[in-house]
Amino acid sequence: MASGDLAARAAELRDAINYHNERYHVLDSPEISDAEYDALVRELRSIEAEHPQLATPDSPTLAVGAAPSPLFAEVRHEIPMMSLDNAQSEAELRSWSERLLRLAPELELSTLAFSCEPKVDGVAMSLTYERGQFVRAATRGNGVVGEDVTANVATVASVPQAISRRSGPVPERLSVRGEIYMPTKEFAALNDRQLAAGAKVFANPRNSAAGSLRQKDPKITASRPLSFWAYQIGELDGASPEEGGGGATLRWAPESQSGALDQLRAAGFPVSPDARRVVGIDAVIARCHELEEHRHDLPYEIDGVVVKVDDLALHRRLGQTSRAPRWAIAFKFAPEELATRLLDIEVSIGRTGRATPFARLSPVFVGGSTVQLATLHNEDQVRAKDVRPGDMVLVHKAGDVIPEVVGPVLAHLDAPRRRRGRWRFPTLCPSCGGPLVRLPGESDTYCTNIDCPAQRVQRIVHFASRGAMDIEGLGEMRVVQLVGAGLIADPTDLYGLDAAPLVELEGMGPLSAANLLGAIDASKRQPLSRLLVALGIRHVGPTVARALAATFGSLEALRGASEDELAAVEGVGRIIADSVVKFLANPANRLVLDRLVAAGLTTTQARGGAAAPRGEETHRTLLGRSVVVTGTLSAYTREEAEAAIVARGGKSPGSVSRSTYALVVGEAPGAAKLTRAEALGIAILDESAFERLLATGELPSA
Ligand code: IVH
């Protein structure tokens, strides 16, 4: 780039960063994600580093946060509240640790101790105590001058009003630094309440914590579920503990960061139980990855890990740059929320006719994969979020959860946006052109035309899916093709397919046609319970289907059962029995069943099958327990195994943690889960032990 262009780019970046600083720090209404903001700062910083003549004294790269808001009195921090440099990758973390050696060459990175602390996503706070009593709370502001939010912070229950004297004599004056945050569950509940009251919905826990603190009326803050984690000792008797603070006792001038956390904990401050002292940079990296993998198992949101050299004497030697200490770094996780363009809102029709709005997005890489489509759930959700085609929207994808549109990035309604108007739910089915109907009191909208091609396709896709007849090679694209070519119209047609017309289809050769026919034929041998799932009877999932198949033993017997007999099966009950009876009484469904029987499908199953003894799902054998499944089991798909755990009151998260009760291991298990379970001494079960666990809740004796 020519130097004039670079100067212009630097100026543009400075403007953009200042603008986004204000949106974030003053207005609590960011328009871009943290990751995008960091990218702007990085670009500017690299231009300034390579072309020092382009650096300006007012550059936002030199400042921390934003100027204080006029709403609150100013507070000067005697020890500035600094920011942290970021590492976006393992390599950057390592190179930070290697830079430490330049200033302290005698250090050994393999034996150096670090404090690894979850980087809670909230609002940085400095709490001041005089003679043990809470007297002031201040935000970071620009790092030197913050805002006095004492009255608001005084309402936060986990902020101690007084320092506990059990931890020894209290210093004359002490400031404790930490983070005010909103736990994830409380955040969701608050947003539900806000939505119900027609009030502002917060984009994320950080914004809602910031918004709750920036209130003129502390009563509003008091009504918000805020918490506090302490992570640093700031001023001590007016001096820093690193300078050996005045008359304070030794306890308040610990030698290490981990010691400081212990002292804070002993004095009654909440300290994250997930902070760890580890030795060696490899252990730091392992801990960072561990926290990233488990970030959603924590009850609060974190966006990274703060890694600090543990030895406080080293902090003094390593010192700081103009904005950040050299002895600490923030390891930032890959983003789970990013902004992108909402290209259009469309409606998809499911097998039951439910019309679900979804967003077509300009592709973004978020939460570990590229997202182009995201659900918008239903009409009310689109209305509440007020997203309109053409908007920049925030897209969220946590772990392996379905991507979701959080809301429009622009909180203000600009003129072109108003012209575009609100999005309206279509009145006609995009597939069959029939009317879309929303019944009063329901949130879902339906296409009621049973012959709707989209519904047909989805019914067949469901029939062939993994948890049902498990027909390999028969995914949605293939079904659309077969229905489009007039070869099939319902699942029964699958069993009459010939090779000749299949080979004619695009992308289908003789081999793939033979494979598909082979897979269809093999599905005839699936047990009755699978067939019951495949039929798509409302409320009949794998667990209920197994209970029905095991009780009645054959499709014939099931078809002859009365509603009372059905309802008597443990785990079935009236609602499900009613749904099964209605399904079986419907002439169209009866015809489908007759044709499936004629095609030679398996319609019997051993009574009281061992895979799922009758009705055990009503016994809450796993209440409150967490059971992780890895690898392929023979009698259950992953979904079924998880459903079986949940039906017994347990949960089945995607990763092993200290709170895991057992790890169930099938064929080709995940190495990481296995190693971690072994390291933590968690019970490792094979499939038969899993079945015993489901039935009894007991682990095999060691
Ligand atoms: S230490 C000089 N420790 O992360 C030390 N910060 O830019 C500065 N944060 O807004 C902070 N958890 O509020 C530290 N355990 C932790 C933290 C933490 C969250 C926040 C902090 C600041 C940002 C760092």
Q: Is 228 in the pocket of ligand 1 (CB under 6 A)?
A: no
Q: Is 179 in the pocket of ligand 1 (CB under 6 A)?
A: yes
pLDDT digits (tens, 9 = 90+) for 185-209: 999 899 888 878 877 778 788 888 9
- 3-state SS assignment for residue 40: helix
User: What per-residue confidence (pLDDT) applies to 413?
Assistant: 45
Start-to-end CA span in the chain (Å): 67
Q: Can you give the CATH number for the domain in which 673 is found?
A: 3.40.50.10190
> What HEC string does 204-260 produce?
CHHHHHHHHHCCCCHHHHHCCCCEEEEEEEEEECCECHHHCCCCCCHHHCCCEHHHH
Q: Which atom of ligand 1 is nearest to the CA of 124?
A: 13
pLDDT at 702 over 80: no
Say whether 119 is catalytic: yes
Please tell me which residue in 119, 332, 385, 397 is annotated as part of the active site: 119
Q: In the structure encoding, which two tokens stand for residue 102, read together?
A: 């330049």
**Beta-strand relationship, 123-130 and 133-139:** antiparallel
Give the residue, out of 79, 142, 231, 264, with the most ligand 1 atoms within 8 A of its beta carbon, to mutate for a pocket test.
231
CB 166 within 8 A of CB 266: yes
Residues 517, 535 within the same domain? no
| Ligand 1 centroid, distance to 307 Cα (angstroms) | 10
| Ligand 1 centroid, distance to 116 Cα (angstroms) | 11
Residue 612 included in any domain:
no
Please report which confidence band the pLDDT of residue 398 belongs to, taking 50, 70 and 90 as the band edges.
Answer: low
Please report which confidence band the pLDDT of residue 411 belongs to, taking 50, 70 and 90 as the band edges.
Answer: very low
Reading across the β-sheet that carries 683-685, which strands appear in turn?
Answer: 627-630, 662-665, 683-685
Give the residue, out of 34, 117, 119, 315, with the most ligand 1 atoms within 8 A of its beta carbon, to mutate for a pocket test.
119
Question: For residues 655 and 294, what is the distance between their CA atoms, to the nearest angstrom?
Answer: 7
Average pLDDT over residues 607-618: 45
Q: In the structure encoding, which two tokens stand for residue 194, read together?
A: 């806000």
CB atoms within 10 A of CB 530: 24
Question: For residues 505 and 207, what is the distance between their CA atoms, to the nearest angstrom?
Answer: 53
CA 47, distance to chain mean position in Å, is: 35
Q: Which of 583, 598, 613 marks a domain boundary?
A: 598
- Please tell me the total count of domains within the chain: 6
Residue 473 included in any domain:
yes
Residues 14, 39 within the same domain? yes
Q: Is 119 in the pocket of ligand 1 (CB under 6 A)?
A: yes
- 3-state SS assignment for residue 446: strand
Any residues with CB less than 8 A from the CB of 39 and at least 6 apart, and which? none
Q: Can you give the CATH number for the domain in which 135 is found?
A: 3.30.470.30
Residue 436 included in any domain:
no
Q: Is 83 in the pocket of ligand 1 (CB under 6 A)?
A: yes
CB atoms within 10 A of CB 662: 24
Mean pLDDT of the chain: 87
| Ligand 1 centroid, distance to 414 Cα (angstroms) | 35
Residues 203, 283 within the same domain? yes
Which position has the higher pLDDT, 309 or 334? Answer: 309
Residue 433 included in any domain:
no
| Ligand 1 centroid, distance to 119 Cα (angstroms) | 6
CB 140 within 8 A of CB 82: no
Q: What are phi and psi of 455, to 5 degrees?
A: -65, -40
| Ligand 1 centroid, distance to 192 Cα (angstroms) | 29
pLDDT at 684 over 80: yes
Residues 99, 198 within the same domain? yes
Most confident of 211-220, 300-309, 407-416, 614-623: 300-309
Residues 564, 519 within the same domain? no
Q: What are phi and psi of 319, to 5 degrees?
A: 65, -155
Average pLDDT over residues 601-616: 61
Residue 80 included in any domain:
no
Give the residue, out of 229, 271, 306, with the most ligand 1 atoms within 8 A of its beta carbon, to mutate for a pocket test.
306
Strand partners, 346: 358
Q: Which domain holds residue 344?
A: 337-422
Residues 473, 538 within the same domain? no
Residues 547, 685 within the same domain? no
Residue 442 included in any domain:
no
Strand partners, 87: 331
pLDDT digits (tens, 9 = 90+) for 532-582: 999 999 888 888 899 999 999 999 999 999 999 999 998 888 988 999 999
CA 604, distance to chain mean position in Å, is: 41
pLDDT digits (tens, 9 = 90+) for 498-511: 999 999 999 999 99
| Ligand 1 centroid, distance to 232 Cα (angstroms) | 9
Question: For residues 268 and 158, what is the distance between their CA atoms, to the nearest angstrom?
Answer: 9
Q: Which atom of ligand 1 is nearest to the CA of 121?
A: 19
CB 349 within 8 A of CB 431: yes
Residues 191, 318 within the same domain? yes
Q: Is 84 in the pocket of ligand 1 (CB under 6 A)?
A: yes
Q: Which of 523, 550, 571 marks a domain boundary?
A: 523
Residue 616 included in any domain:
no
